[in-house]
A and B are shown apart, each in its own frame.
Chain A
Amino acid sequence: MSKESQNKFAEIPGILGMKGWLFAAAVIIFLHFTLQLGLNAYYFQILMFAGINITLAVSLNLVNGFTGQFSMGHAGFMSVGGYMSSYLTTTYFASNPDMLQNPIISGVIFFFALIAGGVAATLAGYVVGLPSLRLRGDYLAIVTLGFGEIIRVLLLNMNIVGGARGLSGIQPLTNFFWVFIFALLTVFCVWRVVHSAKGRVLLAIREDEIAGTSMGVNTTEGKVWAFSLGAFFAGIAGGLFAHYLTTLNPGTFDFNRSFEIIIMVVLGGMGSISGSIVAAIFLTLLKEVLRPLQQITGYDLRMIIYSLVLIGMMLTRPQGIFGTSEITSLFNYFKKRLKRGAP
C-alpha cells in the first residue's frame, strides 16, 4: 500500500507536488515582468480583478463549500483586511516617503501590511465565529450578513480611518506579482488543507455534524478554524484591492461584494477549488462584458443578470459547474485512458 494512494489527487505529483507549486510561482514571476511590457491597461486591470477574485472565491469555498457553513460575511473580512493594511502603509509612507523609491523595501513593507490585514481579519473571523458558529444554516447566514453591516457602520464612525470620507491616497502597491502570488498561496493552502486530516474534519462537519462529533471530531473548533482561515485570505484580498484602487470607503466592501463571491462559489461548485477558480475568472469577465450594457441602458443590470445566471444554474445544475470534483480528476481520467490504450 503506497503512502499516498489514499489520496487520488496525489497521482499527479508533477502538478500537485511541491515542485509543481514552485513552478507555478516561477511562472507568475516571469509573467510579472513580461506582461507589464505589452498588455493593454484595461486588460491588465481585468486580470488583476480576476486574481483577487480567485483568492476570494477559493477562500470562501473553504467555509461555504468544504465546511458547509453558509457565510455571507466575506466582504466584511475584506474590509477589515483592506482598512488595516491601508492604514499601516499610509501612516508608514507618510513619515518615510523616501522608502517608496526602493521597490524592495516598499514591497516588504506592503507584504507585512497585507499579512497584518489578514491577521486582523482572522481575529475578526474568530470573534464572529466563536459565538455564531453554533447557529445553523439560515441563522448563520443572517449573523454573518449582520457582521458585514456592523463592520461598515463601525468604519463609518472611525475617524482614524477617515469615517464616511474613507481613506484616500493609498499607495498603489498592488501589482501582478502580489495578486497572483497570493492567489496561488490561497489555492495551495486550501488544496493541501482539504486533502488532509484537517480537511476531513471540515468535510465531516459538512456531511453530518452529529455523526462527526460522535466520531471524536471537535466540530466547533473545526468550524472556527475554517472560518478564521477563510477570513485570513479575505483580509489579504481586501488589502490587495485597497492598494489597487488607492481609495477606500466603508461602502467599498458592501453586501453586493459578498454576494458576488458567493455566486462564484455556487456557480463553480461548492467544494471544488477548480470550480471556484473558473467561476471567478468567468464572472470577472462577465462583469466587464456587461459594463457597456449599463452605459447604454443607464441601469446596473449586473445583479439582475447574476441572479438569472444563478437561477438558471439552480434549475439545470444545482451542484455548480464542477460539483465537488476537481479538474485534476480529469487529468487522471485521461492518464488512465492513455495507459489503457498503450500497447
Chain B
Amino acid sequence: MTQIALKTEKLTIQFGGLKAVNEFDIEIKSGMIFGLIGPNGAGKTTVFNMLTGVYQPTSGSIIGFNKNLVGLKPFQITHAGFARTFQNIRLFKNLTVLQNLQVAMDQNPKHKKFGLLSTLIKTAKLLESEGEKTAECLSILKIFNLDSRAEEIASNLPYGDQRRLEIARAIATGSRLLLLDEPAAGMNSKETASLMHTIKDVRKIFDATVLLIEHDMKLVMGICERIAVLDYGVKIAEGTPSEIQKNPRVIEAYLGKAATNDQAR
C-alpha cells in the first residue's frame, strides 16, 4: 500500500476580494514527483505558502503524512515532514554553506537537542552529536557537489548553486516531502538538465516525495509523474505529462503562451 504524502481538500484563500486559490484539491502519493504549473499569478506560490503555514487558508483542509496541518506554524509543519525552497531564494546569506545546512540539521527531529548547560560545558555527547550532524550535512552537500564550497559564504555562490543549496538545506531538515518553488529559475539549460538528475537522485536516496512549481516545461514534462495545472486560483486539469500536454483547456490557458515564450527565449 502506498502512503499518501499530501492531500488537500477545497483549499481556499482569499486576499480581500481576490480568491487567490479556490477549492484546490490535490493528492500526492509518497515517492512521487508531482508538478504544479500555471501562468504567472495563478496562485502556485500561494498554495506553497498555505501548505507550509506561511499563510493560513480561509477554508479547506491539508493532511500531510496523515496529520492535519492547518493552523500549525511553519516550523511545526517542517517537523511534520514538509520543507520548502523559495521562489526568491532565501538563504542565510551571511552564513557559510555548511552553516546553512547545520541550521536545518539542528532541527531535524532525529537529532537530539541540548540545553543551555550542555551547550556551555560542551559535553562529550554534544560534541559527538555535532560531529554526526556535520558529517551528515557534508554528505548531503556532496550529492549537490557543494561539499568543496562548505566554508564559503552562501551569498558568494553563483546563482544556480544558491538554488541548489536551498534544496540541500530543505533536505537537511529531514523532511520527506520537498516543496520546490521554481528550482530551475534563472538556470541555463545545462544547469537545468543536471538539476533534473539531482532531483531524481534525491528522491531515490532520501526516499522523498517532491512537489515542484516550474515554468520550464522541459523539466516538468521530463521528471514529473503527475502534474496539476492552476489558472486564476482554480485547478483546471490534472494528469500525466502526456495527458496535460493534450488537454485543450491547459493549452488554451497555459501551454500556448509558454510554448511561444519558450521559443522567444
Interface residues of A (CB under 8 A from B): 1-8, 18, 188-189, 192-193, 196-198, 200-201, 203-204, 207-208, 210-219, 324
Min CB–CB distance B100 → chain A (angstroms)? 9
- Whether, in the assembled complex, B249 has its beta carbon less than 8 Å from a beta carbon of chain A, the answer is no
Please report whether the interface of chain A is mostly helix, strand, loop or mixed according to DSSP: helix
A196 to B120, CA, bound (A): 9
Of B75, B130, B138, B151, which one neighbours A3 at CB under 8 angstroms?
Answer: B130
A298 to B103, CA, bound (A): 53
Of A197, A203, A208, A217, which one neighbours B75 at CB under 8 angstroms?
Answer: A217
Interface residues of B (CB under 8 A from A): 52, 54, 73-75, 78-79, 83-84, 86, 90-95, 98-99, 102-104, 106-108, 113-114, 116, 119-122, 126-128, 130-131, 133-135, 138, 151, 169-170, 172-173
A4 to B132, CA, bound (A): 11
Q: Could you tell me if B103 and A215 are in contact, using CB atoms closer than 8 angstroms?
A: yes
Q: Could you tell me if B74 and A1 are in contact, using CB atoms closer than 8 angstroms?
A: no
CB-defined contacts of B95 to chain A, threshold 8 Å: 203-204, 207
A297 to B173, CA, bound (A): 61
Min CB–CB distance B97 → chain A (angstroms)? 12
> Which chain B residue lies CB-closest to A221?
B75
> Which chain B residue lies CB-closest to A213?
B74
Q: Could you tell me if A196 and B99 are in contact, using CB atoms closer than 8 angstroms?
A: no
Q: Could you tell me if A192 and B107 are in contact, using CB atoms closer than 8 angstroms?
A: no
Q: Could you tell me if A216 and B130 are in contact, using CB atoms closer than 8 angstroms?
A: no
Of B99, B120, B121, B127, which one neighbours A203 at CB under 8 angstroms?
Answer: B99
Of B83, B106, B151, which one neighbours A214 at CB under 8 angstroms?
Answer: B83
A201 to B126, CA, bound (A): 16
Of A193, A208, A216, A324, which one neighbours B92 at CB under 8 angstroms?
Answer: A208
Known: A3-B128, A6-B98, A192-B122. Is A217-B52 also a contact (CB below 8 A)?
no
Of A1, A2, A197, A204, which one neighbours B113 at CB under 8 angstroms?
Answer: A197
Of B52, B103, B116, B130, which one neighbours A6 at CB under 8 angstroms?
Answer: B130
Q: Could you tell me if A215 and B83 are in contact, using CB atoms closer than 8 angstroms?
A: yes
Q: Could you tell me if A207 and B93 are in contact, using CB atoms closer than 8 angstroms?
A: yes
Give the 6 A-B CB pairs with smallest separation, nearest first. Answer: A216-B107, A207-B92, A216-B78, A3-B131, A211-B90, A6-B134
